[in-house]
Amino acid sequence: MSKKLLVLPVALALALVLGLGGFRIAAAKDTPNDERERAVKAGEALSEIMQIPEQSIPTDLMERAEAIAVIPHVVKAAFGIGGEGGKGLVSQRTAAGRWSAPSYIKIAGGNFGLQLGVSATDLVLIFTDKDGFQGLLDGKLKLGVDAGVAAGPVGRKAEVATDVLLKSPVLAYSRSKGVFAGIALDGSVVSIDDSANKVVYGREIPAKEILSGSVHKNEIVMPFVRVLEQYSPVRKHTTD
């Protein structure tokens, strides 16, 4: 039998295996334990970033944040199909200055700066403006289009220029193999993971309601919320 004839059956068998494997992955549904693990990993990623000596997200920025999203372990698509993707959580600061129950989110598209030899990266998005966060409340936000995005400054005492905040209500950070830096994410799309929210909260709830502060924070999401509260505590209101 010729080599050409041998190649075809092998290729078909490989395609079948990959196809069935993909079907199993697509058919599998995340469980509450899976979503709690995601909350744990998001909390760990933010905690580790904030503990980097003199290279963390500025304290002032964490204090003024209107919303914070963490997407741990973003990976490149397999077989060079292109694009990157990951899942994480986002919480919004309520009118009382506290952090809301988080909504689960997904990010896709764009280029997250995953270089050759780097298999995954952790992403952090700091929303400094309520208007810049509105698109995500409506279900989907395209960075650089629906809201300006810029690489965030690094260093606990670093200051954010006013013009940067005006032009870019979203500041982005990435950490790959221990290297932490600001990163531009133009073209990336952040969307609500409604299926994960249903698993976590037991029913279908609009992300806008979850992030309003009216939904109870359960033990599935608390590993993430506790870290937020540690590094970005309750904002105290002041009166003129």
Residue 175 host element (H or E): strand 170-176
Predicted confidence at residue 141, as pLDDT, reads: 86
**Between the ranges 21-35, 175-189, 207-221, where is the mean pLDDT highest?**
207-221
Q: How far apart are CA 177 and CA 56, in angstroms?
A: 15
Q: Tell me: the pLDDT tens digits for 98-136?
A: 999 999 999 987 655 544 444 678 899 999 988 889 889
Alpha-carbon Rg of the chain, whole angstroms? 20
Region 83-110 average pLDDT: 89
- Label residue 140 by pLDDT band (50, 70, 90): confident
- The mean pLDDT value for 156-177 works out to 67
Q: Cα(first)–Cα(last) distance of the chain, in Å?
A: 88
Whether the Cβ atoms of residue 106 and residue 191 lie closer than 8 Å to each other: yes
The rounded distance, in Å, linking the Cα atoms of 4 and 27 is: 35
Interval 16-75: pLDDT, tens: 334 544 434 444 678 999 999 999 999 999 999 898 877 789 888 898 899 999 999 887
Provide CB contacts within 8 A for 117, sequence distance 6+: none
Residue 27 CB contacts under 8 Å (≥ 6 apart), including other chains: none
Predicted pLDDT of residue 30: 83
Q: What's the whole-model pTM score?
A: 0.78
